[in-house]
Amino acid sequence: MFLRRHNLYIRFISVIRSVFLFCVLCVFLLSFKFETYCEQNVFCYRKYSEEFGSGDVSSISFWEQDLTPDARENVNAIPDDEEGGVTTYKSSIQYGFPAYFLEFVIASEPRGMNFKDVIFDGVEAEVSIFDLYEPSAQLVEIKDFQIGPPDVNAEFRERMFPMPVHNIFTISLRRGLVDKLKGQKRIKITLISTDGKEFVLDTENFISKYDF
């Protein structure tokens, strides 16, 4: 009798554990997405997105943008200059792609925010600060990563809203920095706002997991 009850108890615990693991797995599976697609036979993308139920960062998206083979062939066919060198625009495209972008969504504050610095845990990286309005020509100018000027839209940072504001912050990364991050055990990045507040992303290394 005792053994029978003991076995029933063990089965009950096993069922509860299985249901718990299934629920956790469901939450995990619904919290991220990996996709690949191309647009207009010019660019192809590999994109990872993840949502967080808690923490400073609500969600992130990381993507690789590269020229399609046909588009790269067209770029390579651009004539060189008269002295036989490569035109600046042509070389900018050739060496600017593939390009990498990391987007953060922060919705924990009832105000607009800008960010003045980004710290990659375990990795040294040099920032380039400018407005990325023509990526095809400007990507090659980025040192390790690029952020926009932190002083734009200053008037919105002074206003308080009755609900959390979705602040979207995007940085551009060069291949060298992506390779350094790929070698880390986890991805930990700290965003520093213009008023000195820190927002931390600490998650699994999706760069190595999906072989970016």
Q: What is the mean pLDDT of residues 98-109?
A: 95
Regarding whether 61 and 18 lie in a shared domain, the answer is no
**Number of folded domains that form the chain:** 2
pLDDT tens readout for residues 19-33: 344 344 333 433 789
The amino acid at residue 176 is G
Regarding whether 46 and 86 lie in a shared domain, the answer is yes
Q: What is the mean pLDDT of residues 79-86?
A: 68
- The pLDDT mean for the chain works out to 86
Q: 3-state SS of 175-195? A: HHHHHHHHCCCEEEEEEEECC
Q: For residue 187, what pLDDT is reported?
A: 98
Q: What is the mean pLDDT of residues 74-92?
A: 80
Please say whether the beta carbons of 92 and 75 come within 8 A: no
Regarding whether 109 and 5 lie in a shared domain, the answer is no
Phi, psi for residue 84 in degrees, rounded to 5: 90, 0
Highest mean pLDDT among 50-59, 84-93, 109-118, 123-132: 123-132
56: CB partners within 8 A, 6+ apart:
106, 108, 198, 199, 200, 201
Regarding whether 128 and 25 lie in a shared domain, the answer is no
Regarding whether 10 and 71 lie in a shared domain, the answer is no
Regarding whether 151 and 91 lie in a shared domain, the answer is yes
Regarding whether 124 and 147 lie in a shared domain, the answer is yes
> Dihedral of CA 30/182/134/127: which sign?
positive
Q: For residue 54, what pLDDT is reported?
A: 83
Domain holding 25, by residue range, is 1-30
Q: For residue 39, what pLDDT is reported?
A: 93
In this prediction, residue 17 has a pLDDT band, given cuts at 50, 70 and 90, of very low
Regarding whether 47 and 110 lie in a shared domain, the answer is yes
> Dihedral of CA 92/153/112/190: which sign?
positive
Regarding whether 152 and 53 lie in a shared domain, the answer is yes
Regarding whether 186 and 87 lie in a shared domain, the answer is yes
Regarding whether 11 and 70 lie in a shared domain, the answer is no
Q: The whole model's pTM is what?
A: 0.82
Percent of the chain predicted with pLDDT > 90: 66
Regarding whether 113 and 16 lie in a shared domain, the answer is no
Q: How far is 197 from 172, CA to CA, in rounded Å?
A: 22
Phi, psi for residue 197 in degrees, rounded to 5: -80, 140
